[in-house]
Amino acid sequence: MTQPQNPDITPELIREHGLSPEEYAKIQQLLGGRAPTLTELGIFSVMWSEHCSYKSSRVHLKRLPTRSRLVLQGPGENAGIIDIGDGWACAFKIESHNHPSFIEPFQGATTGVGGILRDIFTMGARPVAVMDSLRFGPIEIPNASGKDPAELRSAGQTRTSVPTQAVPTQAEIHKNHSILEGVVSGVASYGNCFGVPNLGGETKFEACYSGNPLVNAFALGLVRRDQIFYAKAAGEGNPVIYVGAKTGRDGIHGATMASEEFSEASEAKRPNVQMGDPFLEKLLLEACLEAMQTGAVVGIQDMGAAGLTCSTCEMGARGKVGLDIELDRVPQRETGMSAYEIMLSESQERMLLVAEKGREQEVFRVFEKWGLDAVEVGHVTRDNVMRVRQHGELVAEIPNEALTDDAPLYKRPLERWEPPVEREMPAHIKLAEAGDLTENFKRLLASANICSKRWVWQQYDHMVQTNTVEGPGAADAGVIRIKGSQRGLAMALDGNGRWCYLDPRLGAMHAVAEACRNVACAGATPIGATNCLNFGNPEKPHIMWQFSQTIDGITKACEELEVPVTGGNVSFYNETLGEGIYPTPVLGIVGILEDVHKTAKMEFHSAGRTIVLLRGSEPGDITDMESEFGSSDYAQHILGAVWGYPPELELEKEAALQKGLVEMIRAGLVESAHDCSSGGLAVALAEPAFANGIGLRVDVASHGLPPEFALFGEDAGRVVLACDPEQLGGIKRAGRDGCG
């Protein structure tokens, strides 16, 4: 067999593929000194992209805690898996689809949902819930001062000490509206058509996301412990089978696009965005799960980022075997596709599987039943090399490890960075002159980050599959039952980019703590975490410092709260024209309910109940409170300024609070529980009252401090409870026992 033919590889062609001269030299070395073919250059380009190789983040991700007695599968597979008892396990993961959603909001969001669902059922798990964490630029003129918006723009006023917070133009607001509507429609369309309930998540707005929206999709599935599948090829001579949709030219170089900043020319990247088909994916789900039940499937992998390239080399690398692929056999929906296009296409709803030799027909019959393509396109070899042929010609011959283990690994420089904000309360901020507290409270409740997101989640089907116990808006976490069992699962997504901007380590700790606290508010014990880490350009030392600090914060919080990280996603290069987003880690937490009937809702049930504030720690002194108040929604939205640091977080007391809260709910002492977070205590008291139109009377002691601190400060580790007055003694006893 002759070696692949080498084209003329120019420096310009190398740059177009996102490779540095040093990386190209390493490619030649790994290929035994020869130049790559164009197809091989494309394969290296996508597999060595930041999106696929994690070349800037791997050295830091290794610090995350990934083990516990319940972890069955940690990072490295399509999804993490946790043992949830009674012979069941849950597979869950969160991933980003940020760049495609900016270029083509609807399709970017749909394929983000579709991709994370495939990650789940690739493991043999049936998807039973999705959630999403969405961030957009402002969709209204910020008006903290109460002045006319046109007056603000004409005066060139910017919001104090906040990056990229210039008052947006109508054109920018229109663009943000368009992205928002497209993304929400895409999330709804795919999930509703596929038939999986959306249990909530979060939708937030900040100016820094105007050119870089974040679309982070989470999915969770159930699988029997003895029926888990892995993306690993094995068995020399075993057939490699392509299943699902036909391959087209959509999504070519999608992974490379997600590994670079946006520029004025980014609109031209629409062809890099994939097109999704949820109805076909539903068929693919059923066919894959049925094929797995035959016992003929050895390993299976989703064709996600980098398409056929990624699934081929990663399955081989995990199994220490090679895969020999014949592209002429690949089902194609367009004519004249080159080897380069077929290997790099990211057409959706496709899988690659390895079957036992001699049992191919069992697999083919299943996919024929569901009306899907299933074609043998190659076989497993012994030598750990990926070979690709087309028209009888060898177009790529690459050792698997050259694309996986030997991919570049960078320990990029770190540079400590201080945000350009005042750390103490600015002298011009006069709380006593900030207006009537009642009116300010109403304005805060109506602000984009605090108001009800019903207009988003009412577009999502949250009752399909009939497992939903708590859907969007009903509790701090989504809750599902496990049919045939008393058990249930609770899940929540949380992140706070503004806090991570002010202090990335502390902000990341808060993201973990709040997501765990939300799960505990449902009465569930947090057992596992997945993270989606959204950052700017990693080639900038201060961005890598933010990333490293964030990893340290997640590590510290997960260790203290005993929640292992089972996997996740890193999204770098969220920058447009050099303007980056806040460092935005989003944490997904899953918790177990031993008895799904013993859960707590958010809303107050009826009048006459006692309201209790459960807190894990006492507030600091006046200086600390002034500094921490600057990170609150009240400071940003009402006072028009951001300063200081996020609130302090005592993780030991946070852990005690969460354990005590779960015990109280299990014991039936608590009727409703709601995390006190954005907007502070005032908002945490108001939100549970809205659902049933119940009023409340509380005494909020300010201890001589400005009432804004007591009402709108966002101190950590606090939960608002409502209980029957007769249960108050039990709650107080639990508090004295150390839970808050």
Share of the chain above pLDDT 90, in %: 85
Q: How confident is the model at residue 623 (pLDDT cuts 50, 70, 90)?
A: confident
Name the amino acid, one letter, at 450: I
Q: What would the two tokens of residue 512 be?
A: 């973990």
701 pLDDT above the threshold of 80? no
154 pLDDT above the threshold of 60? no
SS3 annotation, 66-100: CCCCCEEECECECCEEEEEECCEEEEEEEEECHHH
521-550 confidence digits (pLDDT tens): 999 999 999 999 999 999 999 999 999 999
Region of poorest pLDDT, from 22-31, 140-149, 198-207, 531-540 = 140-149
How far, in Å, CA of 351 to CA of 148, rounded? 55
346-374 confidence digits (pLDDT tens): 999 999 999 999 999 999 999 999 999 99
Q: What would the two tokens of residue 710 be?
A: 């007591």
As to burial, measured by CB atoms within 10 angstroms (0-12 exposed, 13-18 middle, 19+ buried), residue 21 is: exposed
SS3 annotation, 259-325: CCCECCCHHHHHHHCCCCCHHHHHHHHHHHHHHHHCCCEEEEEECCCCHHHHHHHHHHHHHCCEEEE
**Cβ contacts of 69 within 8 Å, gap of 6 or more:** none
Average pLDDT over residues 179-206: 98
Report whether 321 contacts 399 (CB < 8 A).
Answer: no
373-381 vs 239-244, strand pairing mode: antiparallel
384-397 confidence digits (pLDDT tens): 999 999 999 999 99
What's the pLDDT score for residue 608?
A: 94
Q: How confident is the model at residue 150 (pLDDT cuts 50, 70, 90)?
A: very low
257 pLDDT above the threshold of 90? no
Per-residue b or e along 571-608, where b marks 16 or more CB atoms closer than 10 Å to that residue's CB: bbbbbbeebbbbbbbbbbbbbbbeebebbbbbbbeeee
Intra-chain end-to-end CA distance of the chain, in Å: 72
157 pLDDT above the threshold of 50? no
Name the amino acid, one letter, at 138: P
Residue 391's CB is within 10 A of a number of other CB atoms, namely 9
pTM: predicted TM-score of the whole model, two decimal places: 0.94
What's the pLDDT score for residue 152?
A: 38
271 pLDDT above the threshold of 90? no
Q: How confident is the model at residue 472 (pLDDT cuts 50, 70, 90)?
A: very high
135 pLDDT above the threshold of 60? yes
Report whether 674 contacts 684 (CB < 8 A).
Answer: yes
Report whether 723 contacts 669 (CB < 8 A).
Answer: yes
Catalytic residue among 17, 60, 97, 99: 97
Active site residue 51: yes
Q: What would the two tokens of residue 188 be?
A: 């709804």
Grouping H, G, I as helix, E, B as strand and the rest as coil, residue 599 is coil
How far, in Å, CA of 248 to CA of 341, rounded? 8
560 pLDDT above the threshold of 90? yes
4 pLDDT above the threshold of 70? no
Report whether 240 contacts 323 (CB < 8 A).
Answer: yes
717-739 confidence digits (pLDDT tens): 999 999 999 999 999 887 766 55
What's the pLDDT score for residue 209?
A: 96
Report whether 181 contacts 67 (CB < 8 A).
Answer: no
Average pLDDT over residues 130-148: 79
Q: What would the two tokens of residue 302 be?
A: 């989703």
Which candidate, 648, 679, 665, places its Cα nearest to that of 739?
A: 665
What's the pLDDT score for residue 254?
A: 63
Average pLDDT over residues 190-200: 98
Q: What would the two tokens of residue 76 be?
A: 């490295």
As to burial, measured by CB atoms within 10 angstroms (0-12 exposed, 13-18 middle, 19+ buried), residue 184 is: buried
Tally of residues, the chain: 740
What's the pLDDT score for residue 273?
A: 81
Residue 576, H or E segment: strand 575-576
Q: Classify the phi-psi angles of 210: left when phi > 0, otherwise alpha if psi is within -120 to 50, otherwise beta.
A: alpha
Q: What would the two tokens of residue 708 be?
A: 């804004």
Q: How confident is the model at residue 577 (pLDDT cuts 50, 70, 90)?
A: confident
Q: Classify the phi-psi angles of 412: left when phi > 0, otherwise alpha if psi is within -120 to 50, otherwise beta.
A: beta
- Concatenated DSSP letters of 169-219: PHHHHHHHHHHHHHHHHHHHHHHHHHT--EEEEEEEE-GGGSSS-EEEEEE
Domains and CATH numbers, the chain: 129-217+416-572+600-739 (3.30.1330.10)
What phi and psi, each to the nearest 5 degrees, are found at residue 238? -65, 140
What's the pLDDT score for residue 654?
A: 97
Which candidate, 505, 245, 243, places its Cα nearest to that of 375?
A: 243
What's the pLDDT score for residue 164?
A: 40
- Concatenated DSSP letters of 222-238: EEEGGG---S---STTP
What's the pLDDT score for residue 263?
A: 59
Which candidate, 615, 649, 635, 719, places its Cα nearest to that of 677?
A: 719
What's the pLDDT score for residue 162?
A: 40
Residue 74's CB is within 10 A of a number of other CB atoms, namely 19
Q: How confident is the model at residue 155 (pLDDT cuts 50, 70, 90)?
A: very low
Q: How confident is the model at residue 141 (pLDDT cuts 50, 70, 90)?
A: confident
Decide which of 449 and 738 is more confident.
Answer: 449
Average pLDDT, the chain: 92
What's the pLDDT score for residue 82?
A: 98
How far, in Å, CA of 461 to CA of 144, rounded? 35
Report whether 506 contacts 514 (CB < 8 A).
Answer: no
Average pLDDT over residues 652-658: 96
Report whether 323 contacts 381 (CB < 8 A).
Answer: yes
The residue whose two tokens read 């972890």 is 71
31-49 confidence digits (pLDDT tens): 999 999 999 999 999 999 9
What's the pLDDT score for residue 738?
A: 55
Q: How confident is the model at residue 153 (pLDDT cuts 50, 70, 90)?
A: very low
Average pLDDT over residues 479-483: 97
The residue whose two tokens read 């056999």 is 329
What's the pLDDT score for residue 147?
A: 46
* Partners of 674 in beta bridges: 720
